[in-house]
Amino acid sequence: MTQRVITADGLAKLVTEWAKKGAVYAPVKAGSKDWTEFRRVTSLKETDFSRVNTKQSAKGLLFPQREVMLRFKDGKSEEPAAPEEQVILGIRPCDAAAIAFQAKFFTGQGQTDPYFKARLDRTTFIGFACNTPAETCFCTAVGGSPSGTRGLDLLLTDIGGKYLAEPVTDKGAALIADMPDPAIGDLERKLAEKCAEQMPQAIDTAALKRRLDSGFEHPVWDELNLACVNCGACTFLCPTCHCFDVTDEERKGRGARIRVWDSCQFCIYSQHASGHNPRQTARSRYRNRVMDKFKYTVDMVGELSCVGCGRCIIECPAGIDVRETVEVLTRQLPEAAEKK
């Protein structure tokens, strides 16, 4: 599909137009806080693309942290109205890939989750390639790229005051059809490659998976989680984590059945009604999370559920670094299966 160049003014006009037709979400500086987050905008002026990534990923725009499944009043219940059309502008390739993973999970694997699908069908993804990685970025190590297009309709690369626009889907191509043709120089093409060069080398995730396949009982798990306080921040910030709880909120006959993000790091997450808990220990819960990222989802949907965004590293109050965990597991787990 034809690439175009969009000037900053051109992008500003597009954002204003899109905002008239539906919601536009983009990274915005969070008040006096030193970070950006996805907020609804009506003009490009409100946005701030200066950070590599937003504090939280964009996953909440498709899988809200709190979502109404049913509303009820006096014993009668009804489904919520269909979500509105939305454009997510400035999503990084890692986060877009994470939503593509979630889409595979929520819309495949048997039953389709209609809430996620309704939002997905009404969302346009406009990504921003990364020109400079953050210290905690490792998308290249887990199969991603700072200019990856997975999950996107259109990828923008900042080429100094203007944007190289690369359509990924027909939907993306239509967005920029009226823009002038580009004169793409080699210099511009190389921006993304330069970024990738600064990033970590790929890890052999297939070998790690083989080690994890037979490593469930290995003593390496006895020490990996010692610093973990089971706060669950890693799971809430993780753009691929999809677990939720369902609960009813009711007052005077009115209320809603809602779902809220949940975390496998919480003790009660797996606790049976009888009180029995298959993952009673913090060790078993930490192991479940790591196994899920690098083994279980590979078995389930054929891919890792880590996109290398680095948020769990930045925000872990105990300083746990998933890159170190992977390194320790790769070093200590034997590759050959230990048969019982």
Partner 1 sequence: MPGNPYLPLDVRVEKVTVENDAKDLKTFDLSFVDASARTAFEFIPGQFGFLSIIGTGEAPFGIASAPSEEFIKYTVKRVGGFTTALHELEPGTVIGMRGPWGNSYPLDLMQGKDVVIVSGGFSFTTLRSTIVHLLDPKRRPQFGKITCVYGARSAGELLYKDEIKAWESSSDIDLHLCVDKLGSDPWPRTEGLVPNVLKQVAPSSKNAIALVCGPPIMIRFTHPVLEALGFRPDDVFLSLENRMKCGIGKCGHCNLGSKYVCKDGPVFSYSQLRGLPAEY
* Binding of partner 1 by 294 (CB under 8 A): no
* Binding of partner 1 by 278 (CB under 8 A): yes
Output the six-digit token pair for 281.
Answer: 């220990």
- Answer for which of 121, 299, 324, 335 binds partner 1 (CB under 8 A) is 299
Window 111-140: contact mask with partner 1 (x via CB under 8 A): xxxxx--x----------------------
- Answer for which of 131, 169, 230, 288 binds partner 1 (CB under 8 A) is 288
Q: Which of the 8 DSSP states describes residue 333?
A: S
Strand 244-251: give its sheet, edge to edge: 76-78, 66-73, 254-261, 244-251
Nearer to partner 1, 84 or 248 (CB): 248
DSSP bridge partners of 260: 66, 245
- Of 54, 21, 18, 53, the closest CA to residue 39 belongs to 54
Give the shortest CB-329-to-partner 1 separation in angstroms. 16
Find the helix packing angle between 114-121 and 93-107, rounded to 10°: 140
Which H or E run includes 87?
strand 86-91
- Of 36, 57, 52, 53, the closest CA to residue 240 belongs to 57
* Binding of partner 1 by 219 (CB under 8 A): no
Which H or E run includes 224?
helix 221-224
- Answer for which of 19, 30, 68, 69 binds partner 1 (CB under 8 A) is 69
Output the six-digit token pair for 278.
Answer: 């298959």
- Answer for which of 253, 324, 328, 338 binds partner 1 (CB under 8 A) is 253
- Answer for which of 264, 314, 315, 321 binds partner 1 (CB under 8 A) is 264
* Binding of partner 1 by 81 (CB under 8 A): no
Site residues (CB under 8 A) for partner 1? 69-70, 72, 75, 77, 79, 105-106, 109-115, 118, 216, 242-248, 250, 253, 255, 257, 259, 262, 264, 269-274, 276, 278-279, 284, 288, 291-292, 295-297, 299-300
